[in-house]
């Protein structure tokens, strides 16, 4: 009887161990999937340097006195800093907008601490500053954090999109 009892406990222990092992494996698989999804989402927002800005948005060396847009689609540019609280609040909204309008609007971000020349070019004095750049016409600027509804409204007005 005692052996049967110990045998039952051993079988139960093996069963629990194997179940928790599968659970851990499943959990790790889920975590990897979530991280992959997050990385995929972030890929729609591109960090710009002065050089990539000149190629994709405006070459201010070639056209110092006029706005000549280099892009093929309208663009949104988020001027931010890594230490800025409101910028951290806006970042997931910017990523969501980039995902929702992928292929229709190019979404960029510029770190004002690393790209001081670009921040000065646009007179960025408060962050976040969001620049809405239509294919034709003058860019429109919004200073400060704004909710998702603000982005959607600006996209409708500036880019004439629904």
DSSP H/E element including 76? strand 75-80
115 closest CA partner among 156, 69, 39, 54 = 54
For 103-137, give one letter per residue: b (16+ CB within 10 A) or e. eebbbbbbbbeebeebbeeeebeebbbbbbbbeee
Distance CA 130, CA 144 (A): 8
Among this protein's residues, is 19 annotated catalytic?
Answer: no
- Of 48, 87, 130, 155, which is the active-site residue? 87
What lies within 8 Å, CB to CB, of 148 at 6+ separation is 93, 96, 97
In 43-84, which residue ranges form alpha helices assigned H by DSSP?
A: 50-56
87 in catalytic set: yes
Which two tokens mark 23?
Answer: 């659970």
Active-site pick, 45, 58, 77, 84 = 84
Active site residues: 84, 87
């Amino acid at each position: 009887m005692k052996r049967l009892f110990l045998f039952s406990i051993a079988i139960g222990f093996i069963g629990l161990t194997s179940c928790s092992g599968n659970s851990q494996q499943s959990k790790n698989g889920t975590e990897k999937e979530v991280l992959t999804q997050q990385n995929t989402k972030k890929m729609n927002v591109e960090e710009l340097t002065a050089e990539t800005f000149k190629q994709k948005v405006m070459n201010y060396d070639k056209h110092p006195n006029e706005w000549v847009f280099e892009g093929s689609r309208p663009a949104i540019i988020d001027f931010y800093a890594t230490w800025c609280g409101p910028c951290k609040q806006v970042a997931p909204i910017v990523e969501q907008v980039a995902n929702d309008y992928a292929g229709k609007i190019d979404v960029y971000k510029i770190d004002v601490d690393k790209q001081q020349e670009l921040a000065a070019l646009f007179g960025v004095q408060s962050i976040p500053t969001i620049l809405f750049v239509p294919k034709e016409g003058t860019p429109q600027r919004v200073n400060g954090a704004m909710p998702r509804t603000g982005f959607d409204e600006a996209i409708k007005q500036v880019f004439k999109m629904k």
